[in-house]
């Protein structure tokens, strides 16, 4: 089957890592002719903005809607204000295509560095289900009395019943299928509307899933527990902003930003889903082939899984683990001296050797 994939490398290291992701997916196609990809590249991002005043073409969303999936590097670069670049491209895509589920594994692979002395892969094995369409990222608010002494800024958080129910239900279904516990992370003590509502819906839905063990933590305590007792967390569901912050924390305990992947899903398939590493454009190392492309390879694995190729999805994770444990073609963030492209080549070599 042929899957039409829109490739948006974006900015900075996004361009470098997405090359490797595409390289690996092309290798899968070569080894398994049943899986074919037709890639179309879109040059959207901050450079495009500096030439055109736009982050994407006017008909960009319309054109993307024709694809089966989107593979994205990273968006945002010094020179263009972040709220312009991100709302013009990345967040616009997530919203336009109602990609309301953000699946972010926080899983310590064998051989990956972990700053927690006494923790090993058996202790750090979570899947974050981040609400990805509303909440603190509603994108609305008001700016009153601009530049006056009484200036006030209001940023709205929007939590709809439909929005909360669908993400929490997605997480319960996943927990049931995986036979794992489900933890909700919120902040009802201070956020006396949004998070009280969230907790209530979590509680209501839990009645429908008596077989799923549930836990509920306040976000501040959860941040502490992810460090001191990460083994408590299996499937985790949380709001947009909390999920954003906690998955960077998760990356820090599971090998670093270079190993943190994410999938932005529209589970119903009404719109294309999008696969991307969770890191940004890393201006500090961009253009030097220093970026670790393994997070992007992991996102490619999520893409394969989404399209139903579970076995190949697992093989990509095996390849990453092989590089970490034995073969050691690794970028500097993981203690190696390899270039970005060497790592992609090493993944390809592993797949060719084992699955040709």
Residues near Mn ion (CB under 5 A):
244
Binding mask 243-272 for ligand IPM (x = CB under 6 A): -x----------------------------
282 touches 15 (CB < 8 A): no
339 lies in the site for ligand NAD, by CB under 6 A: no
Q: Is 279 in the site for ligand NAD (CB under 6 A)?
A: yes
Q: In the numeric block, which tokens belong to residue 123?
A: 């202790």
Side-chain half-sphere exposure of 204, counting CA atoms within 13 A: 12
Instruction: Name which of residues 102 to 141 contact ligand NAD (CB under 6 A).
Output: none
Treating both helix axes as pointing N-terminal to C-terminal, what angle do 194-206 and 161-178 enclose, rounded to 10 degrees?
A: 40
Out of 134, 199, 234, 276, which residue is the one contacting ligand NAD (CB under 6 A)? 276
Please say whether the dihedral angle defined by the alpha carbons of residues 10, 275, 180 and 253, taken in this order, is positive or negative: negative
Report the nearest approach of ligand NAD to the CB of residue 77 (Å).
6
- Binds ligand NAD by CB under 6 A, chosen from 64, 90, 93, 317: 90
The 8 Å CB, 24+ separation contacts for 324-333 are 324/109, 324/110, 324/111, 324/112, 324/255, 325/110, 325/111, 326/111, 330/292, 331/258, 331/290, 331/291, 331/292, 331/293, 332/290, 333/256, 333/257, 333/258, 333/290, 333/292
Cα separation, 109 vs 121, whole angstroms: 6
Residue 256 to residue 262: CA distance in whole angstroms: 14
Residue 333 found at the interface with ligand NAD (CB under 6 A): yes
- When binding is defined by CB under 6 A, the residue of 278, 295, 300, 324 that contacts ligand IPM is 278
Stretch that binds ligand IPM, among 28-36, 86-94, 142-150, 222-230 (CB under 6 A): 86-94
What residue 285 binds from ligand NAD, Mn ion, ligand IPM, none (CB within 5 to 8 A, per partner kind)? ligand NAD
Q: Which stretch binds ligand NAD (CB under 6 A): 128-136, 139-147, 191-199, 289-297?
A: 289-297
Distance of closest approach, residue 113 Cβ to ligand NAD, in angstroms: 12
Contact set for ligand NAD, span 199-258 (CB under 6 A):
257-258
Comparing CB distances to ligand NAD, the nearer of 175 and 254 is 254
- The smaller minimum CB distance to ligand IPM, of residues 61 and 91, is found at 91
Distance CA 208, CA 77 (A): 45
Which string of DSSP letters, residue by residue, matches 245-279? HHHHHHHHHTT-GGG-EEEEE-TT-SS-EEEEESS
Cβ proximity of 292 and 82 under 8 Å: no
Whichever of 83 and 310 has its CB closer to ligand IPM, that residue is 83
Q: Nearest approach, Cβ of 76 to ligand NAD (angstroms)?
A: 2
Contacting residues toward ligand NAD, per CB under 6 A = 13, 17, 74-77, 82, 86, 90, 257-258, 276, 279-285, 291-292, 295, 333
Contacting residues toward ligand IPM, per CB under 6 A = 76, 86, 90-91, 244, 278
């Amino acid at each position: 089957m042929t899957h039409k994939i829109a490739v948006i490398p974006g900015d900075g290291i996004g361009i470098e890592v997405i090359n490797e992701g595409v390289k690996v997916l092309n290798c899968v196609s070569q080894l398994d002719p049943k899986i074919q990809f037709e890639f179309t590249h879109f040059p959207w991002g901050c450079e495009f903005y500096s030439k055109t005043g736009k982050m994407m073409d006017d008909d960009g969303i319309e054109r993307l809607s024709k694809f089966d999936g989107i593979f994205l590097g990273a968006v945002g670069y010094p020179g263009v204000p972040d709220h312009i670049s991100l709302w013009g491209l990345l967040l616009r895509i997530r919203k336009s295509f109602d990609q309301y589920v953000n699946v972010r594994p926080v899983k310590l692979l064998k051989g990956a560095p972990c700053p927690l002395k006494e923790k090993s892969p058996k202790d750090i094995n979570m899947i974050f289900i981040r609400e990805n369409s509303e909440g603190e990222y509603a994108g609305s608010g008001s700016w009153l009395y601009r530049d006056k002494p009484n200036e006030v800024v209001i940023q709205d958080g929007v939590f709809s019943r439909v929005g909360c129910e669908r993400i929490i239900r997605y997480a319960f279904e996943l927990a049931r299928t995986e036979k794992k516990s489900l933890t909700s992370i919120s902040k009802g003590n201070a956020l006396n509307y949004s998070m009280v509502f969230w907790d209530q819906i979590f509680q209501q839905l839990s009645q429908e899933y008596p077989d799923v063990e549930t836990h509920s933590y306040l976000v501040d305590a959860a941040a502490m527990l992810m460090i001191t007792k990460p083994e408590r967390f299996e499937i985790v569901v949380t709001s947009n902003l909390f999920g954003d912050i906690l998955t960077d924390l998760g990356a820090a305990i599971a090998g670093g930003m270079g190993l943190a992947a994410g999938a932005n899903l529209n589970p119903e398939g009404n719109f294309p889903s999008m696969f991307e590493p969770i890191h940004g454009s890393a201006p500090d190392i961009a253009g030097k082939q220093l970026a670790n492309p393994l997070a992007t390879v992991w996102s490619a694995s999520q893409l394969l899984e989404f399209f139903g190729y579970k076995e190949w999805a697992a093989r990509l994770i095996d390849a990453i683990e092989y590089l970490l444990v034995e073969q050691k073609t690794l970028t500097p963030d993981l203690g190696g001296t390899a270039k970005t492209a060497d790592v992609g080549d090493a993944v390809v070599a592993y797949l060719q050797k084992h699955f040709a």
